[in-house]
Amino acid sequence: MTTKKPFQLTLAILKPHVVKNPFALQNIREMILSNDIKIVRTQRTIISQKLAEKFYEEHKGKFFYNRLTTFMSSGPSDIHILTAPDVIAKWRKLLGPTKCYQTQFSDPNTIRGMFGLSDTRNAGHGSDSEESAAREISVFFSDFKIKDWYENEEIHFETGNLKFDKDLFVHLINKNIVGDSK
């Protein structure tokens, strides 16, 4: 008997140079969907310099910190909460290694291998653990309560009781089928 793996949540950011490139953005979106990853919440926003500094504070003092925070506030980013079993590992595998020049040779069919331009402009971000995901989600989705999602919404993502809004690029609970599903 196989045990069903629980759904995880992770934060995904598609960086400004990707959002400005319709071809790259569409290809990445197709990669997300074709890997059976669901989009729980989404927003397109220009990350303020202050918010970028808060988000990347663990890198403060490193040589790339100013370049990274400046780039991240240079234009709109698409920020998503993603879910699937093992979504943290799944999303990071889709992203590929951080070092884009190496990734273009070692993992050319990953997001960073195809659309990364440099180590700073590496196309995307993905949380590296459940703890990081919880912290990072709270930075961009302050009203999103992880505990409430697991109690009230996770079952719909597990059962597929969803409808996909391609214009908003988000999965919504299909209330026409369920009503109140508790």
Which residues belong to the annotated binding site for ATP?
A: 15, 64, 92, 98, 112, 122
Contact call for residues 162 and 174 (beta carbons, < 8 A): yes
Contact call for residues 52 and 67 (beta carbons, < 8 A): no
Q: Which of 80, 125, 156, 171 is catalytic?
A: 125
What is d(CA 95, CA 43) in angstroms, rounded to the nearest whole number? Answer: 19
DSSP string, 124-137: EEE-SSHHHHHHHH
Which residues belong to the annotated binding site?
A: 15, 64, 92, 98, 112, 122
| Residue 80 annotated to the active site | no
Secondary structure in 3-state letters for 70-118? HHHCCCCEEEEEEEEECHHHHHHHHHCCCCHHHHHHHCCCCHHHHHCCC
Instruction: Say how many Å lie between the first and final Cα of the chain, rounded.
Output: 27
Write down the residue that tokens 């595998």 correspond to.
93
Please identify every residue annotated as catalytic: 125
